[in-house]
C-alpha cells in the first residue's frame, strides 16, 4: 500500500491543488484531488490483467471548475433535489439556491463542497483525511460545521468513503459522492450493457420537477425492478411515465430492511472486461442515475463523454427528505453528528 502526492495546478484564487494517489497490492489505484474531494481516477485491472480507468473525469484541474455533470464530486452539505429550494428547521425557513428550476440541486453550483479546496492529511499508507470548516448560513444552510471525508483503499479492492460532520445548529446534512462509473473503461461505449442489481423493493417516484411525490411503491412489475440483475439498457426506453420524466433512470431506491448497518445495496458487472463493482452503505437510499443528460464534453485522455457514458450510484437519504414527513430524517445538530459510510468494492 502507498499514498503519493503531486501538484494539480492552481485554483481560481491561486491556491495550489494536490492529487493524492492510493495504490494497493493488486495494482488498483485511486486518485483524488483536494479540490472538491473529486475522485479523478480509479484504475482497475480487467480479467486479463489490463488496467483501465473506470471513472469519468478530467485531465486537468480546470475541468473541475465547471464540472456541470459532477464527475467524481463529493456533494455537500446536501445531495440531490430539495423542493422549492427551501426547508424549515427549528421554525426558521432556510432559502437555498434555485439552481435546478425551482429546486435546489446538490447544494450550490459554485459554493458547494465539490468546488472548495479542502485540507488534506495522509493517514497511514492507505487513507487520506480531507477536512473543511463551513460557516453558519453559507449557501443558506444553518450551523458552523466541521466536515471530514476519509478516503481509503484496501487490499480487498475496496474504495471506502467515510463522512463525518459536526455542527452547532440543527441543519440538513445528506452527503454523497457523484462518481460516474464505466467498468469497460471511462472512454468505452455507453453503459447500457452493464448488468445492474439493486437490493430495493420500493422506490421514490417523482413529479415533473423530479421531486419525489412521497409515495413508496413496489418495483414489482416495473422497469425499476432490479432485484435480479438486468442490463441497464434492457428497459430504459420503455413507455413509462417515470422513465420519461428522468429521460431514463434518475431515481432513488429504498434499501430493503434498512437498519443503519453497512450492507450491500447494489452490484454492477460488465461482461467484456469481467469487472464488477459492489456498493455497500449504511444509508437508507441509493440514487441510480444512468447519465441520461451528460452533454458531449471532452474528458480524460482525449475521450469525449456523452449520454450514458457512465452511471452513478449515489448513496443517500431520500431526495427532499427534509420536506417529507414519511421519509428518513436528515437533520443533524449539536447532539447528533452526521456519519455515513459508502464502499465501492471492485472485482475482475
For residue range 85-100, list pLDDT tens digits in order.
999 999 999 999 999 9
Which pLDDT belongs to residue 131? 98
Q: Hey, what's the cell of 103?
A: 429546486
Per-residue pLDDT of 128-138, as tens digits, reads: 999 999 999 99
Mark whether 121 is an active-site residue: no
Which pLDDT belongs to residue 141? 98
Report the SS3 class of residue 66: helix
Per-residue pLDDT of 6-58, as tens digits, reads: 999 999 999 999 999 999 999 999 999 999 999 999 999 999 999 999 999 99
Tell me the backbone φ, ψ of residue 170, rounded to 5 degrees.
-65, 130
Which pLDDT belongs to residue 284? 98
Residue 64 and residue 11 in contact, taking contact as beta carbons nearer than 8 Å: no
Measuring CA to CA, which residue among 98, 116, 91, 93 is closest to residue 34? Answer: 116
d(CA 278, CA 25): 19
d(CA 70, CA 285): 19
3-class secondary structure per residue, 115-137: HCECEEEEECCCEEEEEEEECCC
Looking at CATH, the fold of the domain delimited by 2-347 is given as Beta-galactosidase; Chain A, domain 5 (2.70.98)
Domain boundaries, the chain: 2-347
d(CA 338, CA 332): 6
d(CA 152, CA 270): 24
Among residues 23, 270, 278, 314, the one annotated as catalytic is: 314
Among residues 106, 178, 186, 194, the one annotated as catalytic is: 178
Mark whether 271 is an active-site residue: no
d(CA 184, CA 164): 32
Mean pLDDT of the chain: 98
Tell me the backbone φ, ψ of residue 139, rounded to 5 degrees.
65, 5
Per-residue pLDDT of 261-301, as tens digits, reads: 999 999 999 999 999 999 999 999 999 999 999 999 999 99
Tell me the backbone φ, ψ of residue 85, rounded to 5 degrees.
50, 40
Which pLDDT belongs to residue 212? 98
First-to-final CA distance of the chain: 19
User: Given phi > 0 = left and psi -120 to 50 = alpha, else beta, which region is 62?
Assistant: alpha
User: Given phi > 0 = left and psi -120 to 50 = alpha, else beta, which region is 135?
Assistant: beta
Please report which confidence band the pLDDT of residue 312 belongs to, taking 50, 70 and 90 as the band edges: very high
Q: What is the mean pLDDT of residues 48-73?
A: 97
For the entire predicted model, the pTM comes to: 0.97
d(CA 181, CA 174): 21
Residue 17 and residue 9 in contact, taking contact as beta carbons nearer than 8 Å: yes
Amino acid at each position: 500500500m502507498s499514498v503519493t502526492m503531486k501538484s494539480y495546478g492552481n485554483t481560481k484564487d491561486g491556491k495550489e491543488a494536490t492529487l493524492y494517489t492510493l495504490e494497493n497490492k493488486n495494482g488498483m489505484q485511486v486518485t483524488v484531488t483536494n479540490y472538491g474531494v473529486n475522485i479523478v481516477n480509479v484504475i482497475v485491472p480487467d480479467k486479463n490483467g489490463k488496467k483501465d480507468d473506470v471513472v469519468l473525469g478530467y485531465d486537468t484541474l480546470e475541468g473541475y471548475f465547471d464540472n456541470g455533470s459532477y464527475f467524481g464530486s463529493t456533494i455537500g452539505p446536501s445531495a440531490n433535489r430539495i423542493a422549492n429550494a427551501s426547508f424549515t428547521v427549528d421554525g426558521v425557513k432556510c432559502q437555498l439556491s434555485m439552481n435546478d428550476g425551482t429546486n435546489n440541486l446538490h447544494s450550490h453550483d459554485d459554493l458547494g463542497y465539490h468546488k472548495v479546496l479542502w485540507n488534506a492529511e495522509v493517514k497511514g499508507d492507505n487513507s487520506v483525511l480531507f477536512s473543511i470548516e463551513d460557516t453558519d448560513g453559507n449557501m443558506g444552510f444553518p450551523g458552523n460545521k466541521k466536515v471530514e471525508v476519509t478516503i481509503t483503499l484496501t487490499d480487498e479492492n475496496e474504495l471506502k468513503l467515510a463522512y463525518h460532520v459536526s455542527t452547532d445548529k440543527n441543519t440538513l446534512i445528506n452527503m454523497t459522492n457523484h462518481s460516474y462509473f464505466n467498468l469497460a473503461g471511462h472512454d468505452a461505449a455507453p453503459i447500457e450493457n452493464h448488468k445492474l442489481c439493486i437490493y430495493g423493493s420500493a422506490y421514490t417516484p417523482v413529479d415533473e420537477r423530479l421531486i419525489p411525490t412521497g409515495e413508496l411503491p413496489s418495483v414489482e412489475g416495473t422497469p425499476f425492478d432490479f432485484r435480479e440483475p438486468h442490463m441497464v439498457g434492457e428497459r430504459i426506453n420503455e413507455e413509462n411515465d417515470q422513465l420519461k420524466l428522468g429521460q431514463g433512470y434518475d431515481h432513488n431506491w429504498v434499501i430493503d430492511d434498512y437498519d443503519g448497518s453497512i450492507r450491500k445495496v447494489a452490484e454492477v458487472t460488465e461482461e467484456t472486461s469481467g469487472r464488477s463493482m459492489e456498493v455497500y452503505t449504511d444509508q437508507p437510499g441509493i440514487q441510480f442515475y444512468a447519465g441520461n443528460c451528460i452533454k458531449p464534453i471532452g474528458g480524460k485522455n482525449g475521450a469525449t463523454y456523452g449520454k450514458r457514458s457512465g452511471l452513478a450510484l449515489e448513496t443517500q437519504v431520500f431526495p427532499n427528505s427534509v420536506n417529507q414527513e414519511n421519509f428518513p430524517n436528515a437533520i443533524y445538530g449539536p447532539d447528533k453528528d452526521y456519519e455515513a459510510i459508502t464502499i465501492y468494492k471492485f472485482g475482475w
